[in-house]
Amino acid sequence: MAQRHVPYQGPSHRPMTTAHLAQTMTLLEMNNHELAEKIQRELDKNPALEMKEDYRCPTCGKRLINQVCPSCSIPPSMDQHSPIVFVSTRRTNSYSGSRSYTDDKDSFEDFSAEVEDLPFFVLNQIRTELEPDEQLIAASILTSLDDYGLCPTPSIELAVFHHVPLSKVEHVRSLIQKCDPLGVASESSQDALIIQAISLQERGDDIPPHTIEALEDGFDELSHKNHRALAKLIGITIKDAKKIIHFISENLNPFPAHAYWGTQWNQTDDKPFRYQDPDVIISYSKRDDEPQLMVEVLWPIYGNLKINPVFRKVISASEKDKSEKLNAEYQKANLLIKCLNQRNHTLVQLMQKLAKEQRDFILKGDKFMKPMTRASIAEDLNVHESTISRAVSSKSVQLPSGKIVPISQFFDRSLHIRTIIKEMIANETKPLSDTKITKKLKEKGFDIARRTVAKYRSMEAIPPTHLRKNKSKT
DNA sequence: CTATGGCACGGATT
DNA sequence: AATCCGTGCCATAG
């Protein structure tokens, strides 16, 4: 890749008119929700534009296979670390004007603030993965959540109610349980805990051996904190049993609704959580044993934007004064389409880079976040940094875990240190003071000031030393 | 006296 | 040019 250290953008580099540039910028800034509305508006007022509801690649026009464009997806190379990136027409729930926030913005907000947000939050995470009938089931499960985030209604009952096979209900439920407040909509606390433990294990966290067994078979003993009975039941030492109980009480949450969910949007503004559709979805498929990342840049509308084919003929057929006006509309339509392609291109490039650089973060979690700046990305991609800024702004991405986070989180400079601090405090025997944490971090090679540790701590809502209890560690 | 939180400054980032 | 973030200094609480 040719490196250009002086970012240069000008007419000679790419034949762009100023209008083209300006519009690309505006479009780039928008997230899919805004863009969908914008496109709808253009569609309404410009007869030269036409939306065709077939499934062709928005970028190159080729027919999509499995919602994936065969030629535009950046092909997987031998290198496992390069993710597949493509523009996807997968449906999200925000679609051109069908749910307009402008009309009933207030009522919608009131509604979501008043009703417990959790069901919405969860449903929106998985809506795109569900068939329409499954969505119904999901909705019904989620609306019957109790205050703890559990759904005590047995699956069979739901199956009967909806006249669907039991396996289907169970399938939907298991999908829901993997959503953000992990274990949500489980039938019981026990199930919720099991799900959480399994997913922690899958994520590669250290969990004491036999934890899952203990949860499955020795739940009574666990809840009474009866070390001895538990140890006997599973056939482990009392010490290990204590470890398990400690681990569970510190890391798992029998009441999913009480966990912090959606914190990444909450922490900045104190407004109640508001769900936002992702603009990008990252998932992975296991191939061999290395997961292959797949990045879908979502296309904001169902169909494809095209120039209305008859429009051209109408232009030449009409009289001069009228054709001027039509021609202008034609140009405008053309421009919009070009700019949209430009936007897609930039987004794909950006995500390609991000997914490659932050692979560990995406797969393994916050701890593996690599600090990076927008400027460095811009340099690598040979675009102006403001371009990256715009592309990143107000967009969100759904990670394989189902969490939806703003793309700007990929540029969080302190996230990895914060996670390490969190971990240190979680594992501390006796409360560590900020100074001690600072020292420990220095040993690990993180040179940050004591004051900064304090800041991070408060960001993570961890109480100061003297308020933290002594944790007896076996 | 030690540990923390508040305020504000300067440099980095956007 | 505007904003964000890390840090130092100081007051206050324990």
For residue range A278-297, list pLDDT tens digits in order: 788 887 766 666 777 878 88
**Paired tokens of A247:** 């681990």
Q: How far is the CA of A225 from the C1' of B12 (A)?
A: 51
Bases of chain C within 7 A of a CB of the protein: 5-9, 14
Amino acid present at A33: H
Q: pLDDT digits over A409-432, tens only?
A: 899 888 888 888 888 888 888 888
If pLDDT is split at 50, 70 and 90, which confidence band does A345 have?
Answer: confident
Give pLDDT tens digits for A181-201: 778 888 888 888 888 888 888
Report the nucleotide nearest the CA of residue A386, measured to C1'.
B14
Our CA dihedral for A85, A125, A266, A420, rounded to 10 degrees, sits at -60
pLDDT at A313 over 80: yes
Pick the more confident residue, A472 or A362. Answer: A362
Position A325 scores a pLDDT of: 84
How confident is the model over A337-360, as a mean pLDDT?
A: 88
| A466 CB neighbours strand B below 7 A | yes
Which chain B nucleotides are covered by protein, judged by CB under 7 A? 2-7, 13-14
Mean pLDDT, residues A161-178: 88
CB A419 within 8 Å of CB A366: yes
Mean pLDDT, rounded, of chain A: 75
For residue A467, count CB atoms less than 10 angstroms from its CB and return exposed for 0-12, middle for 13-18, buried for 19 or more: exposed
Mind listing the domains of chain A with CATH numbers?
18-108+275-410 (no CATH), 118-266 (no CATH), 414-473 (1.10.10.60)
Q: Is the C-beta of residue A269 closer than 7 Å to nucleic acid chain C? A: no
pLDDT above 80 (res A8) = no
In degrees rounded to 5, what are phi and psi of residue A58? -65, -20
Query: What is the pLDDT at residue A96?
Result: 25
Average pLDDT over residues A233-241: 83
Spell out which residues of A between 13 and 42 contact strand B, using CB within 7 Å: none
Among A19-28, A234-243, A254-263, A374-383, the range with the most confident prediction by mean pLDDT is A374-383
* A454 CA – B4 C1', rounded, Å: 8
Hey, what amino acid is at A24?
A: T
Cβ count within 10 A of residue A235: 9
If phi > 0 it is left, if psi is from -120 to 50 it is alpha, else beta; for residue A73 that is: beta
A412 touches strand B (CB under 7 A): no
Q: How confident is the model at residue A104, as a pLDDT?
A: 33
User: Is the CB of A320 less than 7 A from some atom of nucleic acid strand C?
Assistant: no
Decide: CB of A434 under 7 A of nucleic strand B: yes
What is the per-residue pLDDT for A117? 58
Least confidently predicted of A90-104, A215-229, A233-247, A387-401: A90-104
Residue, of A267 and A358, whose pLDDT is higher: A358
Model pLDDT, residue A110: 33
Checking if the pLDDT of A121 tops 80, the result is no
A101 or A138, greater pLDDT? A138
Cα A357 from Cα A355, distance rounded (Å): 6
Rounded CA–C1' distance between A464 and B1, in angstroms? 18
Q: Does residue A356 approach strand B to less than 7 Å at its CB?
A: no
Lowest mean pLDDT among A64-78, A174-188, A302-316, A459-473: A64-78
Does the global pTM surpass 0.95? Answer: no
Range from A115-119, A237-241, A265-269, A305-309 carrying the lowest mean pLDDT: A265-269
Q: What is the mean pLDDT of residues A35-50?
A: 88
Q: How confident is the model at residue A247 (pLDDT cuts 50, 70, 90)?
A: confident
* pLDDT band at residue A91 using 50, 70 and 90 as cut-offs: low
Q: Is the CB of A455 under 7 A from strand C?
A: yes
Whether the CB of A385 is less than 7 Å away from nucleic strand B comes out as yes
Nucleotide nearest to A390 (CA to C1'): B14
Instruction: Answer for A229: CB within 7 Å of strand C.
Output: no
Encode pLDDT of A437-473 as tens digits. Answer: 998 888 888 888 999 999 998 888 788 888 887 655 4
The rounded percent of chain A whose pLDDT value lies above 70 is: 73
3-state secondary structure chain A: CCCCCCCCCCCCCCCCCHHHHHHHHHHHHCCHHHHHHHHHHHHHHCCCEEEECCCECCCCCCECECCECCCCCCCCCCCCCCCEEEEECCCCCCCCCCCCHHHHHHHHHHHHHHCCCHHHHHHHHHHHHCCHHHHHHHHHHHHCCCCCCCCCCCHHHHHHHHCCCHHHHHHHHHHHHCCCCCCCCCCCHHHHHHHHHHHHHHHCCCCCCCHHHHHHHCHHHHHCCCHHHHHHHHCCCHHHHHHHHHHHHHHCCCCHHHCCCCHHHHCCCCCCCCCCCCCEEEEEEEECCEEEEEEEEECCCCCEEEECHHHHHHHHHCCHHHHHHHHHHHHHHHHHHHHHHHHHHHHHHHHHHHHHHCHHHHHHCHHHCCCCCHHHHHHHHCCCHHHHHHHHCCCEEECCCCCEEEHHHHHCCCHHHHHHHHHHHHHCCCCCCHHHHHHHHHHHCCCCCHHHHHHHHHHCCCCCHHHCCCCCCC
C-beta neighbour count of A22 within 10 angstroms = 12
Separation in Å: C10 C1' and A441 CA: 25
Higher pLDDT, A261 or A469: A469
